[in-house]
Structures are given as structure tokens and as C-alpha cells.
Amino acid sequence: MGLVDRTCDAGMTDTPSMSANGAVLTCFAACTVLVLGFAPLLPAALIFVAGSGVLAARAVRRGDLTVGPVLGLLGATLAAEFVSAVASGEGTRLRMVVGGAAVGAAAVLLVRLVGRLSPVEGVGEVIYGGLAGSVLGWFGLRRVGTGLALAVVVGAVLAGPVLAHARRREQAAWAHRAPVAGSPELPPFPHPAGRPTAARFGGRVEVTPVLPMVPALALGTWLALLWGETFLRWYR
């Protein structure tokens, strides 16, 4: 092992407390119930809101999104949508849900390809795009497009704070690493040329911060879920 990881626990836990996260999720869930009322989509919407809050916080902390939790949330949401469609006698909405999922996943994949980001490393984000599209697809493809457009706007607003937070965490981790005798000297922060590059330390790979898509997608989808028609009328 070339380097000893001496990252302090305090430096890696500079995120809001679980109680604060819970309070925020409760507010989002309460707004969802108030706006949607007893609509057939409400159970799936609440599952999406709760799961997305957890995934978004994880994406901001880690800078990536593992596939397992996203697949679990996708499965739970699709199951709730299926039950709601059958119970309400609106089985035709299932085709719209599948179409929305395809559009959402394709849109996120396209963004990664255009941005020259690895599609393989972003599988979790692509699946989450499908999840967001499946929820909005209940209302049709126009609502999916509205959610994606709102996600772009939200992403532009969140880019500064999210990247600044990620950069502070990266700098803190960098500062607490020291070379072992005989190992090469640590390069200065940031990485040369300011591009996202990887360096291996003690068997682990550290990468300069990249803005995760999930927080913007989650918030844009939530806004479109509750007020999508209002945004469409305002735009027209």
C-alpha cells in the first residue's frame, strides 16, 4: 500500500444529520399528499419521493450512485404503479409508464454521452432516469419532457453549491493523506489541468468531484409530478 488513509471521521461526515434529512423528506411527502390528494398514483409517488431523497443525499456524499438501491426503488415504484393502474381500472397507463421510463433513461444516457462521461460508471444514474420517467409517464410523455426540462434548470441552480460541497470534502480527504516512506510524493490539489482524473491511493481510487445528476433529476421530477400542467400552461 503506497499511502495510509488517515481521513478523519469528522471530515467525511459534514452532511446534514439524519433527523434533518427526515424532516426535509417529511415536508416533501406532505406537499405530495396535499397536491395529489387521493390520486391513484399517490402510493408510487410517495415511494419515489422517500427513496429519491435517500438516493440524492447519497449521490451528493459519494459523487456516484450504485445500481442496487436504484433497482430496488425502481422495482417498488413500478409495483405500486401496477397495483394502482389495475385497482383504478386504468391499465392503459402502464404503457405510458413504460414509455416514460424509456425516454427518461435515454435522456440521461444521452447527457452522459454528450458530456463524455462514462455510461458504464453512470448506470445508476441512467436507471434513475428511467425511474423518474416511469413516474411522470403516468401522465404522458409531455409530463416527462417537462420534468427533464425542470431538471436542467434545477441542475444549473444546484451546480455551484453541490460542486463546492463535493470539492470541500475532496480537499479534506486529500489533506489527511500522507505518503509512506519510499512512496511517491502526493500531487497538489487540484489535479493537473483541472480535469477529472483518477489517482490510486492504498488500493482506492480518488476522483475529482463531478456533479451528480440525481439531485437535479429528483427535484425536477417532483416539481413536474405536482405542478407539471401548471408549468406547461405557463410556458404556453
pLDDT (tens digit, 0 to 9) for every residue of the chain, 236 residues total? 333 333 343 344 444 456 777 888 999 999 999 999 999 999 999 999 999 999 988 887 776 788 999 999 999 999 999 999 999 999 999 999 999 999 999 999 998 888 777 766 789 999 999 999 999 999 999 999 999 999 999 988 877 776 676 677 667 766 665 554 444 544 544 444 344 444 444 444 444 445 678 989 999 999 999 999 898 888 76
CA separation for the pair 136, 101 (Å, rounded): 8
Q: How many CB atoms are closer than 10 A to CB 206?
A: 16
Q: Is residue 187 part of a domain?
A: no
Q: Is residue 31 one of the residues assigned to a domain? A: yes
What's 90's DSSP letter? -
DSSP helix/strand/coil, 1: coil
First and final CA of the chain: distance in angstroms? 60
Is 181 a domain residue? no
* Number of domains observed in the structure of the chain: 1
Q: What is the C-alpha radius of gyration for the chain, rounded to an integer number of angstroms?
A: 20
Helix (H) or strand (E) segment spanning residue 113: helix 93-114
Q: Give the CA distances from residue 165 to residues 17, 158, 160, 211, in Å, rounded to whole numbers and listed in that order.
A: 15, 11, 9, 10
* Amino acid 204: pLDDT: 46
The alpha carbon of 65 is separated from its chain's Cα centroid by a whole number of angstroms, namely 7
User: Which among 228, 211, 215, 221 has a CA at the least distance from the CA of 48?
Assistant: 221
What pLDDT is stored for residue 79 in this prediction? Answer: 97
Which letter does DSSP use for residue 186 in this model?
P
Beta 198-201 vs 3-5: how paired, if at all?
unpaired
Non-local CB neighbours of 184 within 8 Å, separated by 6+ positions = 2
Asked, for residue 175, whether it belongs to a domain, the answer is no
Residue 177 located in a structural domain: no
Domain that holds residue 31: 16-165+214-235
- The DSSP element (H or E) to which 177 belongs, if any, is strand 177-179
**3-state class of 91 per DSSP?**
coil
Outline where 5-92 has alpha helix (H): 18-36, 42-62, 67-87
Q: What is the pLDDT of residue 175?
A: 64
Domain membership of residue 116 (yes or no) is yes
Beta-carbon contacts of 82 under 8 Å, excluding residues fewer than 6 positions away, are: 94
Per-residue burial over 158-176, b = 16 or more CB atoms within 10 Å of its CB, e = otherwise: beeebeeebeebbeebbee
Q: What's the pTM value of the predicted model, to 2 decimals?
A: 0.75
**198 is a domain residue:** no
Is the residue at 63 inside a domain? Answer: yes
